[in-house]
Amino acid sequence: MQKEVIGNATLYLGDCRDILPTLPPADAVITDPPYGITYQSNAGVGAGTRPISNDGTRVSLRLYKAVIPLLHGAPTLWCTRWDAWPDVWELFAASMKVNGLLVWDKGQPGMGDLKHWGPSYELIASCGPVRTRGSRDCSVLRYNTVPSQNRNHPTEKPEALFRYLVQKVTDEGGVVLDPFMGSGTTGVAAVSEGRKFIGCEVDQAYFDIACRRIEDAQRQAQMFG
Ligand SMILES: C[S@@+](CC[C@H](N)C(=O)[O-])C[C@H]1O[C@@H](n2cnc3c(N)ncnc32)[C@H](O)[C@@H]1O
């Protein structure tokens, strides 16, 4: 296991199942785990086109079963899809309150059956003692996807969406945890919003990208924050 401390962020290279038991509870978990769909992008470049670790259906399910109890009941926003959601619901409901779903409206359809509606949304499950700050917002969130040519990761999430989630469910200075950080979007969002961040990633290439992106975000926050 490798550990990098970058300002307010602590990043671990390794399997989150080994790392989470060593960590104190976070103020919120915001995460985008492998969905169990054996996703491999044809778009993007370099690291962006490789299959994602632990992304087979049964493997992902086993991973979720191991990881959810290690979140210590912290407020959790967990990205998912319509076909993974029944398992996610069942696993969370065994130990935490499931508050509902947010719908991320991506504005344009993704891959799938060309003779069916193109899937233009993903889901974010809200579980545990999630409390929102500020206005009472609608649960459909409209943020454009990251253009494929700009992606650091095949399933990279928009920074603006994750900044919104971070500031909505944590206070200034709070600790955000992402056990599946990929290219580090949650970390970028957390440090940009003045939060502390702890992230895990099992793939060395994505870990290195996350370190670089979070370092840049921290520098920007210091310069302009
Ligand atoms: C859906 S991607 C996250 C993408 C991220 N939201 C972003 O914007 O870049 C899930 C990540 O979890 C990582 N992963 C899979 N199994 C893991 C494990 N056991 N421990 C830590 N990371 C893992 C994969 O390598 C992948 O990069």
Q: Is 180 in the pocket of ligand 1 (CB under 6 A)?
A: yes
Partners of residue 180 on adjacent β-strands: none
Give the model confidence (pLDDT) of 88-113 as tens digits.
999 999 999 999 999 999 998 887 88
As for how many domains the chain has, the answer is 1
Give the residue, by CA position, lying nearest to ligand 1 atom 8: 156
* Tokens at 83, concatenated: 């076909």
Q: Is 55 in the pocket of ligand 1 (CB under 6 A)?
A: no
For the CA of 33, the nearest atom of ligand 1: 10
Give the model confidence (pLDDT) of 3-48 as tens digits.
999 999 999 999 999 999 999 999 999 999 998 766 555 554 445 5
- 181 C-alpha to center of ligand 1: Å? 5
The angle at the Cα of 89, spanning 103 to 82, to the nearest 5 degrees, equals 45
Residue 127 contacts residue 76 (beta carbons within 8 Å): yes
Domain span at residue 173 reads 2-224
**CATH number assigned to the domain comprising residue 83:** 3.40.50.150
Give the model confidence (pLDDT) of 121-163 as tens digits.
999 999 999 999 999 999 999 999 999 899 999 999 999 999 9
Radius of gyration of the chain (CA): 16
pTM for the complete prediction? Answer: 0.92
Torsion over CA: 196, 75, 132, 140 (sign): positive
Q: Is 183 in the pocket of ligand 1 (CB under 6 A)?
A: yes
Q: In whole angstroms, what is the distance from residue 114 CA to residue 194 CA?
A: 42
Q: Is 200 in the pocket of ligand 1 (CB under 6 A)?
A: yes
For the CA of 179, the nearest atom of ligand 1: 21
Q: Is 185 in the pocket of ligand 1 (CB under 6 A)?
A: yes
Q: Is 54 in the pocket of ligand 1 (CB under 6 A)?
A: yes
